[in-house]
Amino acid sequence: MTTKSKKTKSAGRFGSRHGKTVRDKLVKVEKKQKVKQKCPFCEKLGSKRVSKGVWECPRCKKKFASNTYYLD
Ligand SMILES: [Zn+2]
């Protein structure tokens, strides 16, 4: 049985490709992407990324421009 002890996190899908530094950076971004994003208007979680830097909140129906990959 093989035990996958991966510290590669979400970048594990690349295997050994693309280099460690790049994969580590990607993990950092994807980790933030994975958690629910907070809408800056109604403070509720669950904003969806429509496109690069374009976000939409399902609650207040606002569409807004913000960070590319995640909201702070
Ligand atoms: Zn909202």
Residue 72 domain flag: no
Q: What is the DSSP letter of 36?
A: P
CA 58 to ligand 1 centroid distance, Å: 7
User: How does pLDDT run across 8-65, given as a tens digit for each residue?
Assistant: 899 999 988 999 999 999 999 999 999 999 999 999 999 999 999 999 999 999 999 9
Query: 70 CA distance to ligand 1 centroid (A)?
Result: 15
Residue 3 lies in a domain: no
> Could you tell me the distance, in angstroms and rounded to a whole number, from the CA of residue 69 to the centre of ligand 1?
17
Q: Distance, CA 1 to ligand 1 centroid (Å)?
A: 47
On the question of pLDDT at 7 being above 80, the answer is no
Q: Could you tell me if residue 32 is inside a domain?
A: yes
Domain span holding position 23: 16-65
Give DSSP secondary structure letters for 32-65: HHHSPEEPTTT--EEEEEEETTEEE-TTT--EEE
Give the Å distance between the CA of 20 and the centre of ligand 1. Answer: 37
Tens of pLDDT, residues 49-63:
999 999 999 999 999
